[in-house]
């Protein structure tokens, strides 16, 4: 008999022998968790009331009236809602004791599990509420200077049309740049896959381009292209507006990233797909065009969207060459009024355009998956 088999004979102990499952026994009340939850919830409710009172005091000074009091009272009531799951947890703990007295293990287990769940729900919501309180305290700090510096509502409303008009410049720049980037990035990616010895120089140049332009900060490219090329005095380039130069600069920068994304997408397609396509007589380019790229693109839609959102945000960099985009406009307003609220408007505008895109792409991908996958 070998060592191994002799050993394994001892590894498995005989069943029975009074051995019990470790989950056995009558469950007890999760006291530590319950006390922690009660303490945290009480602290958070106290903090909420303190913050609401402070906010009421400062708002009452400005707006005054019954509305502020009513809103404060409503918020104070709402802030106590976090104690609701805690109350349920306490009730469940009562059930645990009752079930234990009846010697009903199963019932007690259910009650304990439910009590723990409710405690964790209370803790989770309390933590979220705490984060909101801290943010509110920051806004109220220093006699609400923070709130007024960033969110001065009357100024935001007054300057909104101006900022929005300038925001169209951003939209125009990123829409044109996105279309160009899609085409340019694919061209560069395909150049990186140029076949054979003849393709070597093309592969080299494409790779070098991607490496270089991913290394240079976008703001430098915009500055160099936007200011530098007009300085060269080349006649046919003179007529071009600085918005166009900015679009070219962004396309060059983001194109390098997007080329990398395309490349990753193409590489992510298993080689057996290439083998199948080539085995049918399709050429290298036909294989890429009909089989590899269409599948690769489906893979890269999320990173592509990320690159696009980054591009949209980078349109704010065009202010360095004096294009009046929303950021530049808002900075003018900020220096005139000595208040940054117009810049906040720009930030909000970027948020507003970015979120629907994310949701749209998610939905589109889901539909695509449903169509092609089984069990849908």
Partner 1 sequence: MSFIDIRDISKSYGEVPVIKNLSMSVEEHEVVCLIGPSGSGKSTLLRCINGLEAIDDGEIQVHGDRITGPGVDVDALRQDIGIVFQGYNLFPHMTVLENITLAPIRVLRQSRDEAKENAMALLKRVGLAHKAKEYPDRMSGGQQQRVAIVRAMAMDPMVLLLDEITSALDPELVSEVLNIVRDLASDGMTMLLATHEMGFAREVSTKVCFLCDGSVYEEGPPEQIFGDPSRDRTRAFLRSIREAKRI
Residue ranges in contact with partner 1 by CB under 8 A: 272-273, 275-283, 286, 290-291, 294-295, 298, 371-374, 376
Rounded least distance, CB 189 to partner 1, Å: 18
In the complex with partner 1, the residue whose CB is nearer, 158 or 289, is: 289
Size of the chain, expressed as the number of residues it contains:
376
User: Residue holding tokens 């070998």?
Assistant: 2
Q: What three-state secondary structure class fits 220?
A: helix
> CA 266, CA 127: separation in Å to the nearest integer?
44
> What is the C-alpha separation between 115 and 9, in angstroms, rounded?
44
- With a CB cutoff of 8 Å and minimum separation 6, the contacts of 317 are 218, 219, 222
Residue 305 C-beta: closest distance to partner 1, Å: 19
| CB of 110 or CB of 282, closer to partner 1 | 282
Nearest partner of 319 among 214, 213, 218, 189, judged by Cα: 218
Distance of closest approach, residue 16 Cβ to partner 1, in angstroms: 38
Evaluate whether 219 touches 254 at the Cβ level (below 8 Å).
no
Other CB atoms closer than 10 Å to residue 332's CB: what's the count? 16
Q: What's the min distance (Å) between Cβ of 282 and partner 1? A: 6
The least CB distance from residue 283 to partner 1, in Å, is: 5
Minimum separation from the CB atom of position 290 to partner 1 (A): 6
User: How many Å apart are CA 296 and CA 300, to the nearest integer?
Assistant: 6
CB of 267 to partner 1, least distance (A): 17
3-state secondary structure of 102: coil
Q: Residue 271 or residue 338: which is nearer to partner 1 going by CB?
A: 271
User: Which residues have CB under 8 Å from 361's CB, separation 6+?
Assistant: 301, 302, 305
Nearer to partner 1 among residue 20 and residue 373 (C-beta):
373
**What's the min distance (Å) between Cβ of 206 and partner 1?**
24
Q: What is residue 14's DSSP assignment?
A: P
Q: Judge contact between 286 and 251, C-beta under 8 A.
A: no
C-alpha 326/C-alpha 330 separation (Å) is 6
Q: Return d(Cα 86, Cα 130) in angstroms, integer.
A: 16
Query: 269 or 318, CB closer to partner 1?
Result: 269
Q: Return the number of the residue (67 or 290) whose C-beta is nearest partner 1.
A: 290
C-alpha distances in angstroms, 275 versus 86, 204, 289, 291, 300?
61, 25, 14, 11, 22
Task: CB nearer to partner 1: give 207 or 273.
Answer: 273
Which is closer to partner 1, CB of 18 or CB of 375?
Answer: 375
């Amino acid at each position: 008999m070998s060592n191994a088999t002799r050993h394994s004979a001892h590894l498995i102990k005989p069943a029975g022998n009074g051995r019990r499952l470790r989950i056995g026994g009558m469950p007890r009340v999760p006291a530590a968790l319950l006390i922690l939850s009660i303490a945290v919830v009480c602290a958070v409710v106290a903090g909420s009331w303190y913050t609401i009172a402070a906010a009421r005091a400062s708002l009452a000074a400005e707006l005054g009236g019954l509305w502020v009091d009513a809103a404060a009272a409503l918020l104070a009531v709402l802030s106590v809602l976090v104690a609701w799951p805690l109350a349920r947890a306490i009730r469940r703990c009562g059930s645990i004791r009752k079930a234990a007295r009846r010697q009903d293990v199963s019932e007690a287990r259910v009650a304990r599990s439910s009590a723990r769940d409710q405690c964790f729900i209370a803790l989770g919501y309390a933590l979220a509420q705490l984060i909101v309180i801290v943010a509110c305290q920051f806004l109220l700090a220093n006699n609400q200077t923070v709130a007024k510096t960033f969110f001065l509502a009357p100024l935001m409303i007054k300057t909104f049309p101006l900022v929005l008009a300038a925001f169209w410049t951003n939209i125009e720049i990123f829409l044109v740049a996105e279309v160009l980037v899609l085409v340019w990035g694919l061209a560069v990616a395909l150049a990186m896959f140029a076949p054979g010895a003849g393709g070597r120089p093309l592969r080299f140049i494409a790779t070098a381009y991607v490496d270089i332009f991913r290394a240079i900060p976008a703001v430098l490219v915009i500055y160099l292209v936007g200011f530098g090329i007009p300085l060269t005095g080349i006649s046919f380039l003179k007529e071009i507006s600085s918005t166009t130069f900015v679009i070219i600069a962004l396309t060059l920068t983001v194109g390098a990233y997007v080329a990398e994304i395309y490349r990753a997408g193409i590489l992510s397609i298993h080689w057996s797909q290439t083998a199948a396509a080539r085995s049918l007589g399709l050429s290298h380019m036909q294989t890429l065009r009909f089989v590899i790229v269409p599948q690769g693109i489906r893979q890269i839609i999320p990173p592509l969207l990320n690159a696009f959102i980054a591009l949209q945000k980078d349109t704010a960099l065009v202010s360095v060459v004096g294009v009046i985009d929303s950021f530049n406009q808002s900075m003018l307003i900020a220096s005139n009024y000595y208040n940054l609220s117009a810049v906040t408007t720009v930030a909000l505008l970027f948020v507003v355009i970015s979120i629907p895109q994310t949701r749209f792409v998610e939905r589109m991908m889901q539909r695509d998956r449903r169509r092609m996958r089984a069990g849908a």
